[in-house]
A and B are shown apart, each in its own frame.
Chain A
Amino acid sequence: EEQLVESGGGLVQPGGSLRLSCAASGFTVSYNYMSWVRQAPGKGLEWVSIIYSGSSTYYTDSVKGRFTISRDTSKNTVYLDMNSLRSEDTAVYYCARGLVRGLSTYYAMDVWGQGTTVTVSS
C-alpha cells in the first residue's frame, strides 16, 4: 500500500525553526514529484512547495527564502525545513505525491499523508 506519514510538527516560537519529515512507503519518492500543502485552522488548502524528480524546487511566494524542500532517497523521505517562522505559518502541513501513470506525470496529487500540525506562538 502506498502511504505517506508526516512527522515533526509542534509548537515553536515566532522566529524559530522546524523540520517536517514525510516518510513514504510502497513507492519511491524520487520517481514522483512531491509537494507540501498546508491548511490553517478553519481555512482552505494552500500549496507550499514542490520537488520534482529532477530535483528542481519551487515555493509559494510567502515562504520563499524561509522554507526549503529536500529529499533523502536512501530514507525514501521528503523534508520541509522551515525557518523564521511566523504566526501565519500555523497550519496542518500535508505531504502529497504527484500523480504518475506509466511514463506520464500529471499535475495533481494522488496520495496524501494524514498531516502534521505546526503552531507558531509565543
Chain B
Amino acid sequence: QSALTQPASVSGSPGQSITISCTGTSSDIGYYNYVSWYQQHPGRAPKLILYDVFNRPSGVPGRFSGSKSGNTASLTIYGLQTEDEADYYCSSYTTSSTHVFGGGTHLTVL
C-alpha cells in the first residue's frame, strides 16, 4: 500500500494553467479508472473536485480537468485563480479493495 507519487509543489500565475501528476502502479491507477482528486485549504477538510478520473461533482468549476494514461493520472487547472492556492491530493481505488492517496502537492498561485 505505497502512497501514490505526486510532486511536492507546483506554481503558476493567475490566468495560467498548471498540471499535477499522480503516479501509481498497475494495482491501482493502472487497473481502475477510479482516480479522484481533492483540494484542501489550510485548516480545512478536503473537498472532492474530480472522481472517476475526469468527472466533476456539481459546483466544481470546469477549470478543473482530469486525465489518465497508464499508471499516471493528471489534474490540470486552467485559468488559475488566487483561491486555487491549496494542497491537492490524488487518490485511487486498489485491487486490494482499499484506497490510497498521493503525498499531496502544494499549489502556489504567484
Contacts and interface: CB of A to CB of B under 8 A. Distances in A.
Interface string A81-110: 000000000000010100100000011111
B3 A106 contact: no
Interface in B69-87: 87
A45 B51 contact: no
A61 B1 contact: yes
A44 B102 contact: yes
A58 interface: yes
B101 A107 contact: no
A34 to B, nearest CB: 12
Contact of B93 (A60, A61, A94, A107): A107
A47 B100 contact: yes
A44 B47 CA distance: 14
A47 B101 contact: yes
Interface residues of A, number: 24
Given A47-B91, A50-B99, A110 B48 contact: yes
Given A106-B51, A112-B46, 12 more contacts: A44-B104, A45-B101, A45-B104, A47-B91, A50-B98, A50-B99, A56-B97, A61-B1, A99-B48, A107-B51, A108-B36, A115-B45
Interface of B: 1, 3, 32, 34, 36, 38, 40, 45-48, 51-52, 57, 87, 89, 91-93, 96-104
